[in-house]
Amino acid sequence: MLKRYWRLTLASALLVSGAVQAQGVAANGQQIVMQGDGSGAPCLACHGMDGAGNNLASFPRLAGLDAEYIAKQIRDYNSGKRVSVVMQPNVDNLTEQQILDVAAYYASQPVPKVEAATADAEVMALGEKIAKRGDWNNYIPACESCHGPDNQGMGVSFPGIAGQHANYIKQQLNAWRSGERHNDPNQLMTGVAERLSEQQLEAVAAYLGAQQAVAAEGGQ
Amino acid sequence: MNRKHLMLAVAAAMMSQSVLAADAKVPVNLPEYKEGQYVHQAPTIDDLMADESVNPELRKVILKGYDMFMNTQQFRGEYVFNDMNCKTCHMGEGRMNWSGPVWPAVTTLPDYRGKNKHVNSLEERIAGCFAYSMNGTPPAYGSDDMLAMVAYHQWVAKGAPVYEKKLGGRGFSHLGKTIPEDISYEKGQAVYEANCAICHGNDGAGQKKDGKVVFPPLWGDGAYNWGAGMTRIFTAASFIQNNMPLSKPGSLSDADAWNVAWYVNSQERPQDPRYTGDAKETREKFIDFHKHSRYGTEVNGAVLGQHDNTGDKPFLKPDSLKPRTFE
């Protein structure tokens, strides 16, 4: 039922916009962020009105992420490609247009100022090495090679991870390792996550978490 | 195989066992080393920094070479006229077996090369990459830049035996050189769209951000030219199977690797610097090389390489490409 409704929405969106892709409206997204999808917690309860998220609780920063990346994650929660007992019930009533609107809203929020690094210099140095050079002896390419220069994100498929909360990065890397998260295109993240040592995983999360994020194209 | 080589081979086998952890969701599947091969463990930049026996001035020059190798685009418009870096093909800092490690050039040259039919030095070999794969012109022989490149190459060769030719993981040819008879453009396109297009784009142009190349082009003006080793189907097939998609070595079947190499190398790219003005004629003139490529043959109604396009490079042939006679 839900699926059929989506298809209709998608089809009508395509009809209306023709060759142009459906666009999210940030102002409409703001309403959804405050009110939620009608049956769950509103987005702002965890991600904040400003999309800053929360490091201690592992709630990811959404401000300044690529809108299409955010939208895909919401769609993946709803289709079961990405599994989260917290997220799924909070977004399962959103229409495709509402998904685009929420994504547009958070993508357009200014990125918050980075929190000061708490890890020691040695950990940060190891994290920087993984982020910028990788560990080729163990077939771990540099994060940058897909997530773009300074890990600020690359297109719609590779999100900015510089300035993402360290605890969230750790949680997600562990989720890829265990197989709990598996919505990476072509399993491009899975192998990398499972080859990282515990020490490398901690270090790269700490390093990335301490970098100032820059908004994706179209954001601020 | 002497004892030292054997030990290295055993150590390497043990390491690849741990990488190939049985329960890995995305295992690293690389070919087996052959009996009697020397298996090199190339040192890293961290090893260089920790090695107190290296003169600080030498360390500085090796690091300069490393920086040139990893970010060759800093010489865009000078030595490089496409979107390639050395590391684009020689993945893993030019150190890794099965990823076109560069240290064998140090330990086996000077030697005769079939490509230009004379004895080549290490500098000349590096110059070849600039002329073809980078669609450019090399740093001058003997220049500071060339010496820095050579110094980095020599660092990663540390400990490898000179003149040894049985080298595990050298070059890109583990699938052999014979193109399978049932190879297909259409099958290659399907493999490409499912596995490669997310990064390299449906148009093969790669992706840049803020002017920086993130995913390199595979064809078109920003890609390797028609004289590059990668235009050979077998080279591309072996490279792809052991290195692509990034982080998934060995995930494509032999057939998929061959088909997608065929598809990528059926697309147009900048002219071969050895061009005579006629692609079919150029193919025949360098047939030992081009029998492995589709250059100068008709593909989808046009002869590949029959054009005057040199990409962003304002000349056809760099001065470095010249015969030697030793007379």
CATH topology assigned to domain B42-156: Cytochrome Bc1 Complex; Chain D, domain 2 (1.10.760)
All structural domains of chain A, each given as residue ranges with its CATH number in brackets, are: 2-107 (1.10.760.10), 121-209 (1.10.760.10)
The CB density around residue B57, as the number of other CB atoms within 10 Å, is 8
DSSP sequence for A38-95:
SSS--THHHH-TTS--BTTTTBPP-TTS-HHHHHHHHHHHHHTSB--TTHHHHHTT--
Q: Does residue B98 register a pLDDT over 60?
A: yes
Q: Are the C-beta atoms of residues B157 and B103 closer than 8 Å to each other? A: yes
Q: Is the pLDDT of residue A19 over 50?
A: no
Strands (E), chain B: 111-113, 118-120, 207-209, 212-215, 298-299, 302-303
* Confidence (pLDDT) at A82: 97
How confident is the model at residue A117, as a pLDDT?
Answer: 81
Domain B185-303 sits in CATH at: 1.10.760.10
B314 Cα to chain A: minimum distance (Å)? 29
What does each C-alpha distance from B33 to A75, B105, B139, B307 come to in angstroms? 45, 19, 35, 42
SS3 label, residue A180: coil
CA angle B287, B293, B294 (to 5 degrees): 105
ipTM of the shown complex: 0.91
Model pLDDT, residue B321: 86
For tokens 């289709």, what's the residue? A79
- Whether the predicted pLDDT of B323 surpasses 90: no
Per-residue pLDDT at B179 exceeds 90:
yes
> Are residues B198 and A157, on separate chains, in Cβ contact within 8 Å?
yes
The answer to whether residue B25 neighbours chain A at the CB level (below 8 Å) is yes
Q: What is the mean pLDDT of residues B213-235?
A: 98
B242 in Cβ contact with B98 (< 8 Å)? yes
- Picking from B152, B155, B150, the residue whose alpha carbon sits closest to that of residue B140 is B150
Averaged pLDDT of chain B: 94
Q: B188 or B320, which is more confident?
A: B188
Chain B positions touching A188 (Cβ under 8 A) are 198, 245-248
Question: A152 to chain B: which residues are within 8 Å by CB?
Answer: 209
* Alpha-carbon gap: A131 to the closest alpha carbon of chain B (Å): 14
Instruction: Give the separation between CA A31 and CA B122, rounded to whole angstroms.
Output: 65
B154's enclosing H/E stretch is helix B144-156
**What residues in B contact A148, CB-CB < 8 Å?**
209, 212, 214
DSSP type of residue B298: E
- Tell which residue, A140, A183, A135, A129, has the closest CA to residue A159: A183
Q: What CA–CA distance (Å, rounded) separates B255 from B187?
A: 9
Taking 90 as the threshold, does the pLDDT of residue B5 lie above it?
A: no
**What pLDDT is stored for residue A6 in this prediction?**
47
Backbone dihedral region for residue B140 (phi beyond 0: left; psi -120 to 50: alpha; all else: beta): beta
CA-based nearest distance B92→chain A, Å: 5
Flag if A195 and B198 touch (Cβ within 8 Å): no
Residue B303 has pLDDT above 60, yes or no: yes
pLDDT of residue A104: 97
* Cβ contact, residue pair A149, B214, below 8 Å: yes
Give me the mean pLDDT over the B285-290 stretch.
Answer: 97
Mean pLDDT of B63-71: 98
What six digits make up the tokens of B282? 């150029």
The answer to whether the Cβ–Cβ distance between A136 and B92 falls below 8 Å is: yes
Per-residue b/e over B137-151, b at no fewer than 16 CB within 10 Å?
bbbeeeeebbbbbbb
Which of A135, A136, A176 would you mutate first to test chain B, the one with the most B CBs within 10 A? A136
Residue A5 above 90 pLDDT? Answer: no
Nearest to B93 by CA among B70, B75, B64, B71: B70
Q: What is the pLDDT of residues A88-102, one digit of tens each?
A: 999 999 999 999 999
Closest CA to B278 of B264, B295, B294, B293: B295
Alpha-carbon distance B219 to nearest alpha carbon in chain A (angstroms) = 19
Q: Of B143, B161, B139, which Cα lies nearest the Cα of B69?
A: B139
What confidence tens digit (pLDDT) does each residue in A102-127 have?
999 999 999 999 978 888 999 999 99
* pLDDT of A192 above 90: yes
d(CA B102, CA B8): 18
Rounded mean pLDDT of A196-217? 95
- Average pLDDT, stretch B81-110? 97
Cβ contact, residue pair B198, A185, below 8 Å? yes
Residues of A in contact with B91 (CB under 8 A): 136, 141
Residue B256: pLDDT band with limits 50, 70, 90: very high
Residue B62 has pLDDT above 60, yes or no: yes
State the pLDDT confidence band at B177, using cuts at 50, 70 and 90: very high
- Where in chain B do CATH 1.10.760.10 domains reside? 42-156, 185-303
The pLDDT score that the predictor gives to residue A118 is 85
pLDDT at B6 over 70: no
Query: Which chain A residue is nearest to residue B94, measuring alpha carbons?
Result: A136
User: Do A150 and A160 meet the contact criterion of CB atoms below 8 Å apart?
Assistant: no
Residue with structure tokens 């061009």?
A: B275
Tokens linked to B278: 């006629």
Cα–Cα dist A103/A96, whole Å? 11
Q: Which residue has the tokens 């066992």?
A: B17
* The pair of three-digit structure tokens given for residue B26, joined into one six-digit string: 């995305």
Tell me: pLDDT of A3 over 90: no
Q: Which helix (H) or strand (E) holds B147?
A: helix B144-156
Q: ∠A177-A179-A183 over CA atoms, to 5°?
A: 105
β-strands B212-215, B207-209: how paired? antiparallel
Token digits of residue A2: 């839900």
- To probe the interface with B, which of A132, A139, A161 has the most B CB atoms within 10 Å? A139
User: Whole-model pTM?
Assistant: 0.91
What digits encode the pLDDT tens for the residues B308-320? 999 999 999 999 8
Average pLDDT over residues A157-171: 97
Do B19 and A191 make contact, defined as CB atoms within 8 angstroms?
Answer: no
Measured in angstroms, the CA of B224 and the nearest CA of chain A are apart by 19
Mean pLDDT computed over A129-153:
97
Q: N- to C-terminal Cα distance for chain A?
A: 38
For residue A141, give how far its alpha carbon lies from the nearest alpha carbon of chain B (Å): 7
The rounded distance, in Å, linking the Cα atoms of B55 and B101 is 25
Q: Is B311 left (phi over 0), alpha (psi -120 to 50) or beta?
A: left
Please give the average per-residue pLDDT across B99-118, as a whole number: 96
Query: Could you tell me which residue, B322 or B80, shows the higher pLDDT?
Result: B80
Q: Which is more confidently placed, B207 or A117?
A: B207
Question: Would you list which residues of chain A are within 8 Å, Cβ to Cβ, of chain B?
Answer: 133, 136-141, 145-146, 148-149, 152, 154-155, 157, 179, 185-192, 194-195
Distance CA A94, CA B185 (A): 42
Identify the bridge partners of residue A59 per DSSP, sorted by sequence position.
A54
Q: What percent of chain A has pLDDT over 70?
A: 89
Cis peptide before B110 (omega within 30 of 0): yes
Cβ of B1 under 8 Å from any chain A Cβ? Answer: no
Instruction: Tell me whether B248 touches chain A (CB under 8 Å).
Output: yes
B-chain residue closest to A157, CA distance: B198
Task: Using an 8 Å CB-CB cutoff, list chain A residues near B216.
Answer: none
H or E segment to which residue A192 belongs: helix A190-195
Confidence at A218, pLDDT banded by 50, 70, 90: low
